Amino acid sequence: MTVTEDANQIPTPENNLNDHKPVGFGRMLRKEDARLVRGQGQFCDDIVLPGMLHLAILRSPFAHAKILSIDTSAAEAHPKVTAVVTGAMLAEHNLAWMPTLSNDVQAVLATDKVRFQHQEVAFVVAEDRYSARDALELIDVEYEMLEPVIDVRKAMAPDAPIIRTDLEGKTDNHCFTWETGDKDATQAVFDAAEVVVKQEIVYPRVHPAPMETCACVADLNPVSGKLTLWSTTQAPHAHRTVYALVAGLPEHKIQIIAPDIGGGFGGKVPIYPGYVCSIVASLLIGKPVKWTEDRTENLVSTGFARDYVMVGEIAATKEGKIQAIRTNVLADHGAFNGVASPIKYPAGFFGVFTGSYDIDAAYCHMDAVFTNKAPGGVAYACSFRITEAVYLVERMVDVLAYDLKMDPAELRLKNFIRSDQFPYETKTGWVYDSGNYEPAMRKAMAMAGYDQLRQEQAEKRERGELMGIGVSFFTEAVGAGPRKDMDILGLGMADGCELRIHPTGKAVVRISVKTQGQGHETTFAQIIAEEIGIPPDDIEVFQGDTDNTPFGLGTYGSRSTPVSGAAAALVARKVRDKAQIIASGMLEVSVTDLQWDKGAFSVKGDPSKSVTIQDIAMRAHGAGDLPDGIEGGLEAQICYNPSNLTYPFGAYICVVDVDPGTAEVKVRRFVAVDDCGTQINPMIIEGQVHGGLTDGVGMALMQMISFDEDGNCLAGSLMDYLIPTAMEVPDWETGHTVTPSPHHPIGAKGIGESATVGSPPAVVNAVVDALQPYGVRHADMPLTPSRVWEAMQGNATPPI
Amino acid sequence: MKINGNDVTLDAEPRTLLVNFIRENAGLTGTHWGCDTSNCGTCVVLIDGKPVKSCTQLAAMAGGHEVTTVEGLATADGLDSVQEGFIQCHGLQCGFCTPGMMLTARALLNKNPDPTEEVIREAISGQICRCTGYATIVRSIQWAASKDRETAVSLEGANA
């Protein structure tokens, strides 16, 4: 069933909107805010240990160059320097290379040659932050320049220099080839089609740029041999296992602690050389070592996102019925394949490029290549490449609408998968769990006043004003994932959860995922509260410390609620089942004669006889008798293995005005209707959507990590890599529908990345729509004034 | 200098940036660092009541001045209305930019008790938030403005 409700109310000191305290789902203020508004959060760089030293990394000024020699003597002579380490020294301990999350390898410190600008070459450990940086200036590296491979379209040219000379027998820059769908069936549909549209679409390289850069404090105790690593990681358990494999440390002697994290967005999933260097430094020196990246290091060397050149094609009837979608993708993976996605999915979940439409055939061919650029590839709230897939299909549908002279909203409504077709298996093999697309689309159109907007646009066009209305509709695939299909480096993507109810009825829940701002301390308390009736204020949520939480794969790909949230609900039900048996003893009735009213069991037909969960908790720990075969205590642990992904969806409408004189784009309005299934905390959901919409506007209009032909990164600061401020974005208009997931215990689907996935096509479609009087059919992101101006002059060029 | 009303006199290298002095010498880690280039504004503190990016100043330049950090916002009577507003309106997610945002908001409301949305957006336009999309930050500051005005009215009533 789909329920629609009105957009969110705004709290004021007068309206008491926040006074309601739900025992379970509903708007609830966040538990984590009390410390964060007081400046009492503890982020990685806030941690100070006795005797702690500071690490700084020397990076390559060149994109591709052979290292001839490194002279560290002057740096070592600096009075405050403790150690200077090069790749050659790491190689002696077999630590110069580490595995990436895609089964490739990446240099911790370069030994033979550097493969991207700002690659790690050496590190210094010193008594303070400033001295460590000073000493970097004293290291003398002699390089021999090599020709770099920067243009992705030329990476596979026969005469292209080989980047990965470290891989035995490598004779080109090919990374992998991947395909999905049915090539021949798709060709047959295209051959017979009345209408075929084709367009090259570039999703440029971008970077998540969280406000907090990457950092860690490594403390390897020389006596106990135990490594404690405070680290900016979204996946502490997965990191622990990888460190055990890389460094040969026994896994029980590794404790990873992710403290408060200042935004992650996927950029804090991979293991970066800086973390490994810090561990090595602490091992060598026997003291705690802190490493905090600067902003440039963050932008130029940690996980980039996107970088896909896609050629899209749609086959359709003259009436606009989409029959087939085909795409050919050239993927730039940088110098090492550092993609963090399930190992059997080298292109992430790009296979959902058929979008929200019921079609007859689909096919994708992808070639991924190495270039002399930083590694990465899956980061920035992309749901494992669904950003690219949704952008492709939603831009292509608009190209079809342009060629057929049809309204883009009507065209989408004509092609949606119908609600009675779910579960729906796509032509690329994805089984969408549930959906009800038309009401979401119609709700967004009603909120936006779509028909009036089109009328206003027509009037403005008469006057030579440029107004654009952009529509996008997305389906996401999140909550990775079923362990038979999905693993990272052999680690199944299931998540654990442990719940303990204390004697007085207060609870502690330990989860395997880790918030970076999403509000896990609140959401997970609410899930437990909903299931077991203990108020959220009485439930403490532990996360991020591998010594004190059950194993699981962490927070990314919008997987916390779909996977760990399910684990939380199920562990609470397990505890509730035991509580019911204890209650039956307390009330002296059979288990089947009890009914559950959120927080208490009562006797069916006699509600005056009841015991609360708090009463039961005391009995479970008390001295009195328990039913036969029941142990004392009230706690449980589970590991949840999802049977399928969940498929959130949404309808977005963006309204822009383009200045005909300056080509500047102003986002006037943005309407977002999201369906993430059952809502746990609407306030947090709205916040997640707002943030993603802002990312989308940034990517569509401002952000790009670009390079010159020598491989110099041109976006190494926030002066060059532009991120929206409060002036570039409108007041968001959000709404929702609710279509629960049928296989998730509480029907929740995940919301963290929906808006980042769905908003870029809406913004670009709006700008292209505004430029229709100039005959513009497509223009690539980022739609900066200069690029929009070029499009207006008929000279739109791809950004790479 | 005075930080949050307390006299702070510590030795530091002449080149020490104010943000590093506050965090490392004075040990007040509520002020965050984010970019080096004065673009992100997460390091904003108040100097003599005015918002300043503390990565653009040397610590020595703040000598003799009053510095207010996020740790100085709350009083013995409770949270500042801006802090309350950020909680009530979900004006923060990861909380990293929040101290700087709240201090700018405090300085704005001290000067202008009833700012429009446009004025609020302009006031925080030198600061970046990657989580919230700004709308809830604007609402948080409006919430605080409304609370401040209520408090002012009730104080007037009490004095009358």
Instruction: Share the mean pLDDT of chain B.
Output: 96
Task: Tell me the per-residue pLDDT of A373-420, one tens digit each, with 9 for 90 and over.
Answer: 999 988 899 999 999 999 999 999 999 999 999 999 999 999 999 999
- B89 vs A contacts (CB less than 8 Å): 10-11
- pLDDT for residue A290 is more than 70: yes
pLDDT interval class at B154 (50, 70, 90): confident
Interface-testing mutation among B54, B75, B131, B132, with chain A (most A C-beta atoms within 10 A): B131
The residue of chain B nearest to residue A723, with distances taken between CA atoms, is B128
Nearest to B135 among A43, A690, A692 (CB): A690
Put simply, the chain A residues between 724 and 743 with a CB less than 8 A from any chain B CB are 725-727, 729, 731-732
pLDDT interval class at A114 (50, 70, 90): very high
Mean pLDDT of A603-626: 96
In this predicted structure, what is the pLDDT of residue A246? Answer: 80
Instruction: Share the mean pLDDT of chain A.
Output: 96
In this predicted structure, what is the pLDDT of residue A6? Answer: 47
Instruction: Say which residues have a Cβ less than 8 Å from residue A517's Cβ, sequence separation at least 6.
Output: A261, A262, A263, A264, B92, B93, B94, B95, B96, B131
Mean pLDDT of B25-32: 98
In this predicted structure, what is the pLDDT of residue B36? Answer: 81
Distance from CA of B36 to the nearest CA of A (A): 7
Burial of B83 (0-12, 13-18, 19+ CB in 10 A): buried
Distance from CA of A138 to the nearest CA of B (A): 19
The residue of chain B nearest to residue A724, with distances taken between CA atoms, is B128
Task: Tell me the per-residue pLDDT of A155-189, one tens digit each, with 9 for 90 and over.
Answer: 999 999 999 999 999 999 999 999 999 999 999 99
Distance from CA of A147 to the nearest CA of B (A): 31
The H or E element containing residue A501 is strand A495-501
In this predicted structure, what is the pLDDT of residue B160? Answer: 62
- Residues facing residue B14 across a β-bridge: none
Do A212 and B34 lie within an 8 Å CB cutoff? yes
Do B34 and A260 lie within an 8 Å CB cutoff? no
Among all chains, which residue has been given the structure tokens 């996107």? A306
Do A262 and B117 lie within an 8 Å CB cutoff? no
- pLDDT for residue B159 is more than 80: no
CB-based contact, A477 to chain B, within 8 Å: no
Which DSSP category does B124 fall into? T
CB-based contact, A45 to chain B, within 8 Å: yes
Do A37 and B90 lie within an 8 Å CB cutoff? no
CB A717 within 8 A of CB B35: yes
CB-based contact, B129 to chain A, within 8 Å: yes
Interface-testing mutation among A14, A36, A733, with chain B (most B C-beta atoms within 10 A): A36
Distinct helix (H) and strand (E) counts, chain A: 18, 34
Instruction: Say which residues have a Cβ less than 8 Å from residue B76's Cβ, sequence separation at least 6.
Output: none
CB-based contact, A36 to chain B, within 8 Å: yes
Mean pLDDT of A576-587: 98
Do A13 and B40 lie within an 8 Å CB cutoff? no
CB-based contact, A26 to chain B, within 8 Å: no
Nearest to B147 among A13, A40, A687 (CB): A13
Among all chains, which residue has been given the structure tokens 């708007």? A27
Task: Tell me the per-residue pLDDT of A642-674, one tens digit each, with 9 for 90 and over.
Answer: 999 999 999 999 999 999 999 999 999 999 999
**Token representation of residue A491:** 């680690």
pLDDT interval class at A74 (50, 70, 90): very high
Burial of A407 (0-12, 13-18, 19+ CB in 10 A): middle
- pLDDT for residue A472 is more than 90: yes
In this predicted structure, what is the pLDDT of residue A221? Answer: 96
Do A731 and B40 lie within an 8 Å CB cutoff? no
CB-based contact, B19 to chain A, within 8 Å: no
CB A48 within 8 A of CB A128: no
Mean pLDDT of A278-287: 97
Which DSSP category does A66 fall into? E
Distance from CA of A2 to the nearest CA of B (A): 27
- B98 vs A contacts (CB less than 8 Å): 36-37
CA–CA dist A539, A547 (Å, integer): 20
Nearest Cα residue to A212 out of A93, A293, A327, A332: A293
Do A37 and B86 lie within an 8 Å CB cutoff? yes
Among all chains, which residue has been given the structure tokens 């949305």? B117
Distance from CA of B128 to the nearest CA of A (A): 6
In this predicted structure, what is the pLDDT of residue A506? Answer: 98
In this predicted structure, what is the pLDDT of residue A4? Answer: 41
In this predicted structure, what is the pLDDT of residue A248? Answer: 84
Nearest Cα residue to A96 out of A104, A83, A86: A86
ipTM: 0.98
Burial of A782 (0-12, 13-18, 19+ CB in 10 A): buried
Task: Tell me the per-residue pLDDT of B76-120, one tens digit each, with 9 for 90 and over.
Answer: 999 999 999 999 999 999 999 999 999 999 999 999 999 999 999
CA–CA dist B52, B55 (Å, integer): 9
- pLDDT for residue A68 is more than 80: yes
- A695 vs B contacts (CB less than 8 Å): 130
Distance from CA of B160 to the nearest CA of A (A): 23
Distance from CA of B51 to the nearest CA of A (A): 17
CA–CA dist A445, A468 (Å, integer): 15
Task: Please give the full DSSP string across A562-596, using - where no structure is assigned.
Answer: IIIIHHHHHHHHHHHHHHHHHHHHHHTS-GGGEEE
| Helix (H/G/I), strand (E/B), else coil: A163 | coil
The H or E element containing residue A531 is helix A520-532
Put simply, the chain B residues between 34 and 73 with a CB less than 8 A from any chain A CB are 34-37, 39-40, 42, 69-71, 73
In this predicted structure, what is the pLDDT of residue A1? Answer: 37
In this predicted structure, what is the pLDDT of residue A8? Answer: 58
- pLDDT for residue A690 is more than 70: yes
CB B126 within 8 A of CB B101: no
N residues, chain B: 160
CB-based contact, B92 to chain A, within 8 Å: yes
At A592, the amino acid letter reads: T
- B108 vs A contacts (CB less than 8 Å): none
Nearest Cα residue to A165 out of A343, A370, A366: A370
Task: Tell me the per-residue pLDDT of A1-40, one tens digit each, with 9 for 90 and over.
Answer: 344 444 457 999 999 899 888 999 999 999 999 999 999 9
CB-based contact, A265 to chain B, within 8 Å: yes
Mean pLDDT of A453-459: 98
At B43, the amino acid letter reads: C
- B69 vs A contacts (CB less than 8 Å): 39
Burial of A26 (0-12, 13-18, 19+ CB in 10 A): middle
CB-based contact, A672 to chain B, within 8 Å: no
In this predicted structure, what is the pLDDT of residue A34? Answer: 97
In this predicted structure, what is the pLDDT of residue A276? Answer: 97
Mean pLDDT of A48-63: 98
Give the global pTM: 0.97
- pLDDT for residue A624 is more than 90: no
- pLDDT for residue B60 is more than 80: yes
**Token representation of residue A361:** 């055939």
Do A691 and B93 lie within an 8 Å CB cutoff? yes
| Helix (H/G/I), strand (E/B), else coil: B126 | coil
CA–CA dist A210, A441 (Å, integer): 32
CA–CA dist A50, A32 (Å, integer): 28
Which DSSP category does A630 fall into? P
Do A732 and B133 lie within an 8 Å CB cutoff? yes
In this predicted structure, what is the pLDDT of residue A379? Answer: 85
Nearest Cα residue to A257 out of A667, A560, A543: A543
Task: Tell me the per-residue pLDDT of A709-727, one tens digit each, with 9 for 90 and over.
Answer: 999 999 999 999 999 999 9
Do B87 and A30 lie within an 8 Å CB cutoff? yes
- Residues facing residue A509 across a β-bridge: A499, A541
CB B130 within 8 A of CB A263: yes
